[in-house]
Amino acid sequence: MNKPYWGLWSLLLAALVFFVVLSFWQDGIRVGGLDIKTATFARDLGARMTTHKQTADTADAEGLLPNGHHVKGWRAPMDTTAKSILFIGDSMLEGLAPRLAKYCDKNGHSLVEVIWYSSSTKVWGESGRLAELIAKYKPNYIFICLGANELYVPDIKRARRPHVKKILAEIGDIPYVWIGPPNWDEDTGINDLIEQEVDEGCFYLSANDSFERSRDGAHPTRPSAHLWMDRVVNWLNTTGAHPIRLEKPESGISRASHIVIYQPPV
Amino acid sequence: MILNEIDMTQLLSLLTFNRDEPMLFTSGLFWVLFLLFLPVYAMLKSRRKKMMIFVIAFSLYFFYKSSGVFFLLLVATSIFDWWVAQFIESSKNRTERRIALTVSLVFSLGILLYFKYCNFFMSNFEAVIGGNFQPMDLIMPVGISFYTFRTISYVVDVYRGKIQPVDDYLDHLFFLSYFPCLVAGPIVRSCDFIPQLQQNKPATREMIYGGLWLVMLGILKKAVFADYIAQYNNIAFGNPTGYTGFELLMAVLGFAMQIYCDFSGYSDMAIGLGSIMGFDLGINFNYPYRSLNVTEFWHRWHITLSTWLRDYVYIPLGGNRHGKVRQHFNLMVTMLLGGLWHGAAWTFVVWGAGHGVALCVHKLCKPWLDTIPSTRISRFFSWLLTFSFVAFLWIFFRANTFEAAGQVITGIFTDFEWAYLPVFLKRRFVWCLMLAIIYGLHFVPRRTWDYLRVRFIDAPWWLKLVIFIALIQLVLQFASATVQPFLYSQF
């Protein structure tokens, strides 16, 4: 190998070694207030080399896998008791929550609605606000609608996975349904990410639904959002992992017992 | 113990074909493999035959990783066209030569039409007759548009007697499968490439480090600028009715820079890799947004494509040899095909047609335009008009549908307010800064770039390493940086 080729090769090798070593700091390195991002070599390789087989064979009698997720197709029996429901999310709740409130009125549930405008999994994950809300309102069922503000986030699985995990950790053992964003364009992976992280039967994929949009081209119109909520409830009681008593009311909306609004994060 | 934990199928999946993960020059896997490739290449460089076999094997693997078994199509095309070229050269019968050329063109274009345009033509046909067409799930082999044009130029040049066919099949396969040019060009001609391959001159220090410099510029353009700017453009073009005219105008300006950085960045990486390997692949972009008219723009934008279209479509159609009307017709046909080449959708056809009309208008007005004195003011307005027109046509190139393109245009012309400027600057400061940098860099003289390139080549090894690491870190920093999606938060 001639000298310039040797020089180039050693340069590339040195750079590779440098970034591979740094990649073991998977959450990045903080230097003087600046977050130094690291490459994903270690994480990617680790993910490919230590895949535990999570199969039905390893599930317990409750259908629970060693990783805490349920096996595919597992469903709890219908819970007909009155629920204290907490519904959190972004501005999509403006259309969804009033319709869910109508269901709650008919079926004897109480509903607390928390809209945090412009919020995302990152905002909720970093804030710890969900844990506070759970401590305050003590819900025994949770609805979440988040992801619409993250359709275009690059490298989203890396960037947002810790936040999705954090939200799920704050929910803990409380049964929940995560309603995916109503895509108006192809996303960069938010739906995949949520689906990968949530428990089996706890994610409603809205991306394939069709909506009538409001003037901003993104939010469903109110009637369209009400139909969206109807589809979520229908899915929950036919396919969802934690069905609860939610008989369909006549058309129309109602008001949650308590509504909390947070201004957009700065 | 660790081996018990290894899932070899997972590990192998990294190295096998995955349609969702084509191997690009910006991927970490490519650079890891290139690191293994480089020392072997360097050792075999002086032994031409062995070097060729090694590079061909690497190129075919590169193609396989992105397109699966369709790499065999490239091999089949290369065998067939090598044989056709030999036949054309040996035959003295003009009819036989024509038939051979026609068969070759039908074969090459047939494959391209099938994979790239089948769904497009079928859906249009079904739309006309009122059917219910379900698009076929076709995997389009990566780079098929580029290698098809390269093989066509080879056979046509042999037919025209411009070049001699290559005797050694490996030379032709090397040329056609050469991995730096495989995915996105440049569309290098056989007459420029094969002599370099046959001479097999050793790569000089200037070529190797000059190549690295170009690769780095390409990475900066593609992985930092283009990918970051694209975020906002995707958001705005994805939902035009949700944005004001000012925001949509910024998205159009952003897309003009995104596509330049994307195309030219990838070309720079390809040309740089070629240079590292000792090959001069020419230039593909020459400050296109400095152009003062549309004709000049096409002399500066995607040069290897525009010269290909000139030499193999426009001139065979008659060029300017049969009067003005025919010349304009030829220009329109060439640009329509050029538009369709970029993508199988009517929006691309409209984009090509727009450029065709502009080229015709410029040719018609040229005698009058030439009488205008060349002053700073006249040059400025020429530039402004040209850039505005080119940026306007990018709307059709970027929009997924005519409806979306219409919404963007309507938004710009009916809902435009300068009042959004300060908020836009504040909320998307980094995005604006990047746009300003790219526009600014466009007007840095070539001699400055040449000077920087020479300084980089002459820099000590450790400084080159620091610059390279700093660049890759910049890529990592921006890979997960997000652009504020909404000016006024509504979600």
CATH number at residue A200: 3.40.50.1110
Segments of B33-155 assigned E as strands: none
Q: How many CB atoms lie within 10 A of CB B27?
A: 14
With beta carbons under 8 A apart, name residues in chain B contacting A14: 465
A88 and A206, same domain (yes or no) = yes
Distance CA B281, CA B179 (A): 12
With an 8 Å Cβ cutoff, are A118 and B486 in contact? yes
Instruction: Please state the rounded mean pLDDT for residues B460-470.
Output: 96
- Which residue of chain A has the CA closest to B13? A48
Instruction: Please state the rounded mean pLDDT for residues B321-328.
Output: 89
Q: What is the pLDDT of residues A68-107, one digit of tens each?
A: 666 666 677 788 888 999 999 999 999 999 999 999 999 9
With an 8 Å Cβ cutoff, are B39 and A18 in contact? no
Q: What is the pLDDT of residues B249-259, one digit of tens each?
A: 999 999 999 99
Residue type, B182: L
Is the four-CA dihedral A203, A204, A206, A212 of positive or negative sign? negative
pTM of the model: 0.79
A169 and A124, same domain (yes or no) = yes
Residues of B annotated as catalytic are: 342
> What's the pLDDT score for residue B487?
45
A43 and A94, same domain (yes or no) = no
> What's the pLDDT score for residue B10?
64
A140 and A40, same domain (yes or no) = no
- Which residue of chain B has the CA closest to A116? B491
Beta-carbon contacts of residue B156 (< 8 Å; ≥ 6 apart): B101, B312
A35 and A110, same domain (yes or no) = no
Of B13, B28, B276, the CB nearest to A41: B28
Work out how many domains chain A is built from and give that number: 2
Of A38, A39, A216, the CB nearest to B242: A216
With beta carbons under 8 A apart, name residues in chain B contacting A118: 486, 489-491
Does residue A169 fall inside a structural domain? Answer: yes
CA distance B160 to chain A (A): 40
Complex ipTM:
0.86
Structural tokens at position B373? 């004195």
Beta bridge partners of A179: A145, A204
A172 and A258, same domain (yes or no) = yes
| B10 at interface of A, judged by CB pairs closer than 8 A | yes
CA A143 to chain centre: 10
| B392 at interface of A, judged by CB pairs closer than 8 A | no
Does residue A154 fall inside a structural domain? Answer: yes
Indicate if the pLDDT at residue A5 is higher than 50. yes
A33 and A101, same domain (yes or no) = no
Give me the domain span that covers residue A197.
84-262
- Which residue of chain B has the CA closest to A265? B489
Nearest residue to A158 via CA among A168, A170, A150, A169: A150
Beta bridge partners of B3: none
Q: For residue B217, what pLDDT band results from cuts at 50, 70 and 90?
A: very high
A220 and A103, same domain (yes or no) = yes
Q: What is the pLDDT of residues A231-255, one digit of tens each?
A: 999 999 888 889 999 999 988 888 8
- H helices of A60-127, where? 93-107, 121-127
Q: What is the pLDDT of residues B155-211, one digit of tens each?
A: 999 999 999 999 999 999 999 999 999 888 799 999 899 999 999 898 999 999 999
Helix or strand or coil: residue A220?
strand
Place of tokens 């370099």: B196
Does residue A60 fall inside a structural domain? Answer: no
A238 and A187, same domain (yes or no) = yes
Does residue A25 fall inside a structural domain? Answer: yes
Q: Which helix (H) or strand (E) holds A145?
A: strand A141-145
With beta carbons under 8 A apart, name residues in chain A contacting B483: 152
- Which residue of chain B has the CA closest to A92? B491
A41 and A92, same domain (yes or no) = no
With beta carbons under 8 A apart, name residues in chain A contacting B5: 49-50
Does residue A64 fall inside a structural domain? Answer: no
Q: For residue A26, what pLDDT band results from cuts at 50, 70 and 90?
A: confident
Nearest residue to A17 via CA among A49, A42, A43: A42
Does residue A68 fall inside a structural domain? Answer: no
Beta bridge partners of B367: none
A121 and A242, same domain (yes or no) = yes
| B233 at interface of A, judged by CB pairs closer than 8 A | no
Indicate if the pLDDT at residue A184 is higher than 70. yes
With an 8 Å Cβ cutoff, are B489 and A154 in contact? no
